[in-house]
Structure 1
Amino acid sequence: MAAFIIVVGVLFNPFAAKAEEFHWGFKKATGGVPPNAGAALESILERHGAIYKGKPDEKIAYLTFDNGYENGYTESILDTLKNEDVPATFFLTGHYLKSAAPLVKRMVKEGHTIGNHSYNHPNMASASQQKVEEELKKFDELLNQTAGVQRTSYFRPPEGIFSETLLAQANELGYRHIFWSVAFIDWHANKPKGKAYAYNELMTQLHPGAVILMHTVSPDNAEALPDFIREAKKLGYEFRSLDDLVLEYENLNSIL
């Protein structure tokens, strides 16, 4: 009887089954040297095909934007991308799809990629498997209704919080996690720091293979983006889509 009680205790202990949560992070890049997330995180991402940067010896950068809600600056960002002929990926939420449908349609029309940032922006690492699937698929269903995109392939967990269980489940559902290698505090809509702040952060952290994360709620980013793109191009950088990055990753792994 004692042995049975112990087994039951293990099976029904909620703490024993809880997946370990990780908060994505790294030491910022400087001098054009790509950041390193550390052996532990690198190993976890590698096991599940998650990506946060490209090749360290090619001057290629990838622009990504997280859009939880619209604050009036996305149109300017889209204008810049169009004028500079630069592709980007916009990781959207369900709220954004519902509240900014015309902008979503424009993103798709102009050839940008839509990424899945979940429907309700919860902590996905602590969500049940049923909730995870619901968040991802509900977003895709609304995206299809809104802009005619059948489904998304790239997922970015809210606040960069993830677990190995989440990575594995996302893979099973057909999503690849995309993190980032360039970021700065730019999500406080009511605390702008100015165009120079965003520009300097972007230029200081720029490195070959950079996956750049910006939030569209910031006027700083909208104002700095044109100068940043033009200066990066002068330095020999080319901006490509996440599809190119994923293809590069898959080709490299097929060789290895």
Structure 2
Amino acid sequence: MERKNHPRGTRNSRREMKKNVFSKKITFISILTISIILICGGVYATYAMQHKPKEASELEDNSYYEQKEAALLTKIRESQKHEELESTEQEKTDGLIQTLTYEPIASDSIPQLLATKTELTTLMASIEKDSPKETAIKLVGHIKMLKINENVVGYQPVVDIYTWNYNAEDWYKKTELGQNTAFMNQKTKQPLTLQDIFMSESNILAVQQVIEQKLLSESPDGNAIIDSILNMPKISLDGTSFTYHPDAISLGLPENPTGKKEIMLDYKEIAGYVNPEFVDPASIKEVLPKPLDPNKKYISLTFDDGPNPETTPRLLDILKEKGVKATFFMLGQNVVKHEALVKRVAEEGHEVASHSYSHPQLTGVDAQRVKDEVQKTDKAIYHAIGKLPTDFRPPYGAVNKDVAKIIGKPIIQWSVDSQDWQSHNAQAIIKRIDETAYNDTIVLMHDIHPETVDAVATVIDRLRGEGYEILPSNDLLGKKAKPLHMYYGSKDERPVQ
């Protein structure tokens, strides 16, 4: 068969045609792609133009902004008119930042006004410095009056910050508060003092006990610092710095091993020692002890001079069987020897209190000996149970004002003396208490005498038969006994003379 041959020129022309078709396709796709990009870009540009944030420079031509600004300023000024503190306005504008400062007119009625105004000025300057310059902002500074109760008001620097939100086209508000508030005694029209809050030296000494225990409890090793804590200078009504809060108080501390310069106490921790007229009533409402029922009879059983390993355990067994809680006034020298027994007393719900270390008559020894007798016992009891004793019974009941001040604890005396130390006879002890017990009194006994332990079960039964409810002395006294005072019962409190 004869093979046909195509001319070379024909083959080349076909190749050229294919190239032209391909080029046209490429050109078409490119034009289409560019068109799509241009269309999308135009749509996006239109959207962006419609939704872009308004620049600060546009605010002058924005009537809507002007309306919102006028409404805000009217609201601010109307609000200030209704504040309890009448004030005058000072206005300043720097670019887009406008400041409105309201200064009280009756400045004489505000304690520490200069310091409060200085803090307000400093706070406003700091906020203005940190504010963006391209954003419309209103800074409103004023001194707010805080009414805690009828007797206490506070004055606090406040800055309201209004920032214009360009997207939302509205003002956004936040508030900055000054760190310091000046509180005033409404009765005296003077700055609030520790005298207002604690009323007396005896109350501030009671607070000292709470502080000592708190510092020890918060320490990783209370036994390592207890000497320094017990020897820490006492806080005072006129020499202690403080920061008042409606529900708590921060007290400045002398130099101490914890390194703390101040301590915060909730009023509920010291409810029995604060003047309720000068704190937020809600802060102590739930913790104030309920008064004893006037229609009931109460009595407290107290035991001195222990613990004794021969007699105290048997006494504890009887008290546990009878469901009675008592108060044990312990000698430090016996605590050191019988720590496990002291711990048992505390764990079974009895009160552990101090009766000095070695039982001297404290009014007959020098001040250093008194201090040693108290502190050595405090340390011994703390080492045994992790708590300092809060109450003290002086040996022989002997105390005077100087001794009481060194002791720094409530002095718990007695009104019914069982005379067990004299009779050493169970029946005589029972008879004595039968004949001398009366309502709201404290009974003195000694857990070192076997005859006393022999008598206790009958004493409890007969007291209950007479209608008495038996309480530890701390509960009988409403958990608010205070230093420099002696207590013979819940209705017999006497200042130490």
Please indicate, yes or no, whether the TM-score normalized by the shorter chain is above 0.5.
yes
Of 309, 313, 320, 1:75 maps to: 313
| Contact 1:56 1:209 (8 Å CA) reproduced | no
Q: State how far apart, in whole Å, the 1-side matches of 2:433 and 2:358 are.
A: 29
User: Does residue 202 of the first structure (1) align with residue 433 of the second (2)?
Assistant: yes
User: Does residue 85 of the first structure (1) align with residue 323 of the second (2)?
Assistant: yes
Q: Secondary structure at the match of 1:152?
A: coil
Per the alignment, residue 192 of structure 2 pairs with none
Q: State how far apart, in whole Å, the 2-side matches of 1:70 and 1:128 are.
A: 29
Q: State how far apart, in whole Å, the 1-side matches of 2:343 and 2:440 are.
A: 28
How far 1:151 moved relative to its partner? 0.7
Q: State how far apart, in whole Å, the 1-side matches of 2:368 and 2:321 are.
A: 42
Of 367, 374, 381, 1:136 maps to: 374
Per the alignment, residue 21 of structure 1 pairs with none
User: Does residue 146 of the first structure (1) align with residue 384 of the second (2)?
Assistant: yes
| Contact 2:332 2:356 (8 Å CA) reproduced | yes
Identical pairs, percent: 30
How far 1:90 moved relative to its partner? 0.5
Per the alignment, residue 127 of structure 1 pairs with 365
Change in 2 beyond 3 A, CA 1:79/1:69: closer
Per the alignment, residue 215 of structure 2 pairs with none
The aligned runs of 1:214-225 (5 Å cut-off) are 214-225=445-456
The aligned runs of 1:99-248 (5 Å cut-off) are 99-148=337-386, 150-170=387-407, 173=408, 175-187=409-421, 192-193=424-425, 195-247=426-478
Instruction: String of CA shifts for 1:102-123, please: whole Å, max 9, x gaps.
Output: 2211101101111111112112
Q: State how far apart, in whole Å, the 2-side matches of 1:71 and 1:205 are.
A: 30
| Contact 1:116 1:139 (8 Å CA) reproduced | yes
Instruction: String of CA shifts for 1:125-181, please: whole Å, max 9, x gaps.
Output: 122222222211111111111222x211111111111222222333xx3x0000001
Q: State how far apart, in whole Å, the 1-side matches of 2:491 and 2:440 are.
A: 14
| Contact 2:440 2:491 (8 Å CA) reproduced | no
The aligned runs of 1:45-56 (5 Å cut-off) are none
| Contact 2:419 2:429 (8 Å CA) reproduced | no
Of 79, 95, 101, 2:333 maps to: 95
How far 1:248 moved relative to its partner? 7.0
Per the alignment, residue 61 of structure 1 pairs with 299
| Contact 1:89 1:241 (8 Å CA) reproduced | yes
Q: Which has the larger radius of gyration?
A: 2
Larger mean CA deviation between 108-117 and 97-106 belongs to 97-106
Change in 2 beyond 3 A, CA 1:248/1:115: closer
How far 1:55 moved relative to its partner? 10
How far 1:65 moved relative to its partner? 0.3
Q: State how far apart, in whole Å, the 2-side matches of 1:57 and 1:240 are.
A: 16
Q: Secondary structure at the match of 2:420?
A: coil
Contiguous gaps of at least 5 residues in structure 2 = 1-200, 204-291, 482-489, 493-497
How far 1:58 moved relative to its partner? 4.5
Q: Secondary structure at the match of 1:155?
A: coil
Which amino acid is the alignment partner of residue 466 of structure 2? L
Which amino acid is the alignment partner of residue 437 of structure 2? L
| Contact 1:57 1:208 (8 Å CA) reproduced | no
Q: Secondary structure at the match of 2:467?
A: coil
Contiguous gaps of at least 5 residues in structure 1 = 1-46
| Bigger strand share | 2
How far 1:216 moved relative to its partner? 1.3
Which amino acid is the alignment partner of residue 167 of structure 1? A
| Contact 1:91 1:116 (8 Å CA) reproduced | yes
How far 1:83 moved relative to its partner? 1.0
| Contact 1:58 1:209 (8 Å CA) reproduced | no
Which amino acid is the alignment partner of residue 163 of structure 1? N
Q: Secondary structure at the match of 1:238?
A: strand
Change in 2 beyond 3 A, CA 1:48/1:126: farther
Which amino acid is the alignment partner of residue 399 of structure 2? F
Q: State how far apart, in whole Å, the 1-side matches of 2:374 and 2:328 are.
A: 15
Q: State how far apart, in whole Å, the 2-side matches of 1:66 and 1:152 are.
A: 14
Q: State how far apart, in whole Å, the 2-side matches of 1:234 and 1:61 are.
A: 13
TM-score, scaled relative to structure 1? 0.68
Provide the aligned C-alpha RMSD in A: 2.8
Q: State how far apart, in whole Å, the 1-side matches of 2:376 and 2:296 are.
A: 37
Instruction: String of CA shifts for 1:221-253, please: whole Å, max 9, x gaps.
Output: 111111111121121100112222232776989
How far 1:68 moved relative to its partner? 4.5
Instruction: String of CA shifts for 1:205-225, please: whole Å, max 9, x gaps.
Output: 111012001011222211111
| Contact 1:192 1:220 (8 Å CA) reproduced | yes
Change in 2 beyond 3 A, CA 1:71/1:183: farther
Q: State how far apart, in whole Å, the 1-side matches of 2:417 and 2:339 are.
A: 26
Q: Secondary structure at the match of 2:415?
A: coil
Q: State how far apart, in whole Å, the 2-side matches of 1:56 and 1:128 are.
A: 43
